[in-house]
Amino acid sequence: MVSMDYLAIIVVTFISGVVGTGLGGVIGAVLRRDSNKIVSLLLSFAAGIMLAVVCFDLMSEPIEMMKAGTLPSLTPLIVVAAVVAGYGVIYLLNYIIDKKTNHEVTHIDANHPATADNLDELIHSNHYESHKNSKSNLFVAGLVMMFAIALHNLPEGMVIGASYAISADVVANLFSGSGFIMAIVIGLHNVPEGMAVSVPLISGGMGKIKAVLLTALSGLPTVFGALLGFALGGINDIMLVLSLGFASGAMLYVVFGELLPESILMWRSKLPAFVLFIGIIVGFLLVMF
C-alpha cells in the first residue's frame, strides 16, 4: 500500500510537472506569439531561485547534519562527489543525444555553436521537425525529443523528492520548506518550457490537442524523479546526502548548462543576468524564512 507521504509527493509533483508544462503548452497553442523576452526573464528568475535553494539549503543540509554529529567528518567530500556525479550523468546523457541527432538537422554543421542557440535545439524539436514528413522516423524523433525534455524534468523531480526527504513528516510539511519552494518554482519554470515545446510542434504541423498532450506528458518524469529522490533519501542519512548531492548536481547542470545560456541567447542583454540576481535573492529569502 502506498503511504500518504508518497501520495502527497505524487500530487504535488504532478501539479508542478505535468500541469505546469501542460499549461505552458496550452498558452503556446492559443497565443503562438513571439514572447522570447518574457520566456527569457522567467527562465532566468527560475534559475536564480533554483540556484539559491540548491546552494543555501540542499547542499548545506548535510553539513548541518555533520555538525550535529549524525554524519562523518568526510561528509563535505561525499557531497562534492555526489554533486559531480549528478552533473556528469546529465551532461553525458545530453552529449549522447546531441551526438546521435545533431547530424540529422541540416543547419547544424561544423561551424554551428557547440551549445544550443535556441529553444528548438534545447528540446530537440528541430530534430522532430526534420522528420515530420517521414512517418517511419517521426515516432523515433518524437521519442528523442521527449527523452531530451525528461532530462530536464527528472532531476528537477529528484530535487523536490530529496528536499521532502529531509522532513520528518511530509504530509504535515507539504506546503512549507524547501520541497514546496522547489515545487512552486519548477512549476512556474515549466510554463515557459511548455510553451517552448508546443509552439514548434504546432508550427511543424502537429494538431494543437496532440501537441498539448505530448507537452503535458513531457512533465511526467518530474513525478518519477521526486519518488526516486524521496525513496533514496529515506533509506538512511548517507543515502539522503547522496540523493541531495546527486539531485543538486543534476540541477546545477540544468541551470548553468541550459537555462542560463538559453535565457541569454533569447534576449541578448544584461537584464536576464539582473533577473537571475533577483531570483537568487528571492530564493535566499524563501530558504531563510
The CA-atom distances, in angstroms, between 161 and each of 9, 115, 134, 260 are 7, 29, 40, 24
More confident residue, 146 or 164: 164
Count of structural domains, the chain: 1
Rg (CA), the chain: 19
The answer to whether residue 1 scores a pLDDT higher than 50 is no
Instruction: Evaluate if residue 262 carries a pLDDT over 50.
Output: yes
pLDDT of residue 106: 78
- 93 pLDDT above the threshold of 90: no
Buried/exposed 242-281: b ≥16 CB within 10 Å, e otherwise: bbbbbbbbbbbbbbebbbbbbbbbbbeeeebeebbeebbe
Alpha-carbon distance values, 245 to 60, 86, 155, 281 (Å): 10, 7, 11, 22
Average pLDDT over residues 193-209: 78
pLDDT at 32: 58
DSSP character for 33?
Answer: -
Percent pLDDT > 90 in the chain is: 28
- Other Cβ atoms closer than 10 A to 144: 20
Q: What percent of the chain has pLDDT over 70?
A: 96
Give the model's pLDDT for residue 84.
96
- pLDDT, tens digit, for every residue of 209-261? 988 998 899 899 999 999 999 999 888 888 999 999 998 998 899 899 888 88
- Which residue has better confidence, 214 or 117? 214
In this predicted structure, which of 116-120, 124-128, 160-164, 199-203 has the lowest mean pLDDT? 116-120
**Cell numbers found for residue 95:** 552529449
At residue 175, the 3 state secondary structure works out as: coil
**CA 75/CA 85 separation, integer angstroms:** 15
> What pLDDT is stored for residue 265 in this prediction?
79
What is the extent of the structural domain holding 158?
4-288
